Amino acid sequence: MATRSHPRALVAGGAGFLGSHLCERLLERGSEVICVDNFQTGAADNVQHLLAHPGFSLLAHDVTTPLEAEVDCIFNLACPASPLHYREDPVQTVRTSVIGTLNLLELARRGNARILQASTSEVYGDPAEHPQQEGYHGNVNPIGPRACYDEGKRCAETLCFDYHRQHGLRTKVARIFNTYGPRMRPDDGRVVSNFIVQALRGQPLTLYGDGAQTRSFCYVDDLIEGLLGLMDSPDDFCGPVNLGNPAEFTVGELAEQVLRLTGSSSGIRYLPLPEDDPVRRQPDIGLARNTLGWTPATPLEDGLKRTIAYFNQVLR
């Protein structure tokens, strides 16, 4: 059904991995979509199949520069998400999260639009509480190599809540946990795409540390439903709300699953653990369940099979 309350949507970062799936789903629901992207980590190819849709437009633009558009709702997904890429130009990463979010909040304020900020489990840093609930304030190293991303996203959350309190803006913050699926770049650098690409190419899987660190992996389709549910939630619900799949795996277990599902004879290559790499990560999704009625439906094995099928196509 069309989203009658907010038929015109702007998706910043819409040509990226999550953004391209979101644009697709919004069009399916009957929204018009303006996709805004500077193509730092995304690509026009990701939304090529949407260009012929009459409700879709693609705008090459960097959100660190103010923009004008008449829209009912804004999804801010603009920001490189892979540690490999956000560390390449850490100053630009901070600029994107802080100045980019500020520009989009101003756009929302001028047009009285709703705005959803794609925040991250990284705001919890290397968490001292497990699983992570939204009330936990986190354990982030403010001067480490991951800080450009973690602190940038924390400041973006602050801006959302200040715009809500100061200007009455309808803001919504989603704390997204590790999400994977088709349209990740083969050179994205995150663990699921790295392992699958390496397994399919017969290269050793690069395991950082001893593989005992954990992550909770959410399939992209589930995550997108969570974002839409949050945007559709009552005006007074700002979050923050955790969106992720609570099934927790060690990175070593993920490597084993990928090897088994690809039938690859690749071995494992142990590499040093990057600085400040969180030891454990698992969302408590009680709030999302209770307020949005949202729960992820795709087990890791099923999501991995679909992602492997995708990479099998693109690596040919």
Min dist CB 92 to ligand NAD, Å, is: 7
Q: Give the residue with the Cβ less far from ligand UDP, 92 or 213.
A: 213
Q: Give start and end residues of each alpha helix (H) in the chain.
A: 17-28, 83-86, 90-95, 101-111, 147-167, 191-201, 220-231, 251-262, 286-292, 300-314
Contact between 303 and ligand NAD per CB under 6 A: no
In single-letter form, the type of residue at position 314 comes to V
Q: Which has the closest alpha carbon to 226: 121, 90, 116, 128?
A: 116
Q: Give the residue with the Cβ less far from ligand NAD, 193 or 266.
A: 193
Interface residue list for ligand UDP (CB under 6 A)? 83, 178, 190-191, 194, 206-208, 213, 215, 251, 273-274, 277
**Residue 149 designated active-site:** yes
Q: Which has the closest alpha carbon to 239: 296, 282, 176?
A: 176
Contact between 100 and ligand NAD per CB under 6 A: yes
The listed partner (ligand UDP, ligand NAD, none) that binds 37, CB under 5 to 8 Å by sort, is ligand NAD
**75-83, 264-272, 287-295, 297-305 -> range binding ligand NAD (CB under 6 A):** 75-83
Torsion (CA) 184, 189, 192, 193 in degrees, nearest 10:
50
Can you name the residues that pair with 269 across neighbouring β-strands?
Answer: 206
The pairing of beta strand 114-120 with beta strand 73-76: parallel
**8-16, 66-74, 136-144, 260-268 -> range binding ligand NAD (CB under 6 A):** 8-16
Q: What whole-number distance in Å separates Cα of residue 294 and Cα of residue 44?
A: 30
Q: Which has the closest alpha carbon to 34: 59, 6, 2?
A: 59
**14-22, 205-213, 250-258, 297-305 -> range binding ligand NAD (CB under 6 A):** 14-22
| Chain positions contacting ligand NAD, by CB under 6 A | 12-13, 15-19, 37-42, 62-64, 77-81, 96, 100, 118, 120, 176, 178-179
Question: What is the set of active-site residues?
Answer: 149
